[in-house]
Amino acid sequence: MFSKKTLILPTVGVWIIACALYGYYYVVTTLALPEPYDAYARNWQFQLLMFSIFRIPLLVVALLLVIVVELITVDLLYTKKAARVQQ
């Protein structure tokens, strides 16, 4: 049976890589838009701050949901498998 650590670590690793790529995409596409009136909105630091305020919380909730579904699914599969083996 999988331990929770071996199940969650790859998921978190993929999530971190996906967040980094999504953050890069977010900043690049936002900076590619036509010139805004505010000059501070045209730099990477501001756009990364906005990404961390508005997108990271949603991504954390999505990660937690994926981990919960993953744990429930694996638990259900192993309990069904263990019940079949005992019969």
User: What does pLDDT average to in each consecutive run of 10 residues of the chain (87 residues)?
Assistant: 82 96 96 82 93 97 96 84 68
| Structure token digits, residue 75 | 């638990």
Say what the pLDDT of residue 79 is. Answer: 76
Per-residue confidence (pLDDT) for residue 69, from 0 to 100: 94
Q: Tell me, what's the pLDDT at 33?
A: 87
* Domain ranges for the chain: 4-86
Structure pTM?
0.81
pLDDT at 38 (0 to 100): 83
